[in-house]
Chains A and B, each alone.
Chain A
Amino acid sequence: AQSVTQLDSHVSVSEGTPVLLRCNYSSSYSPSLFWYVQHPNKGLQLLLKYTSAATLVKGINGFEAEFKKSETSFHLTKPSAHMSDAAEYFCVVSGVLTGGGNKLTFGTGTQLKVEL
Chain B
Amino acid sequence: KAGVTQTPRYLIKTRGQQVTLSCSPISGHRSVSWYQQTPGQGLQFLFEYFSETQRNKGNFPGRFSGRQFSNSRSEMNVSTLELGDSALYLCASSLDPLTGGNTIYFGEGSWLTVV
Contacts and interface: CB of A to CB of B under 8 A. Distances in A.
Describe B's contact surface by its main secondary structure. strand
Interface stretch (A19-27, A60-68, A79-87, A95-103): A95-103
Contacts of B94: 102
A102 B43 contact: no
Interface in B53-104: 55-56, 90, 92, 94, 96-98, 102-104
A101 B33 contact: yes
A32 interface: yes
Contacts of B48: 97, 101-103
A31 B107 CA distance: 24
Contacts of B45: 103-104
Contacts of A109: 42
A43 B104 contact: no
Given A43-B107, A101-B48, A103-B56, A96 B102 contact: yes
A102 B102 CA distance: 7
B43 A90 contact: yes
Contacts of A101: 31, 33, 48, 50, 55-56, 96-97
Contact of B109 (A32, A43, A104): A43
Contact of B98 (A32, A90, A100): A100
4 pairs of A and B residues whose beta carbons are closest in the complex: A99-B55, A44-B106, A106-B43, A101-B48
Interface of A: 32, 34, 36, 41-46, 49, 51, 90, 94, 96-104, 106, 108-109
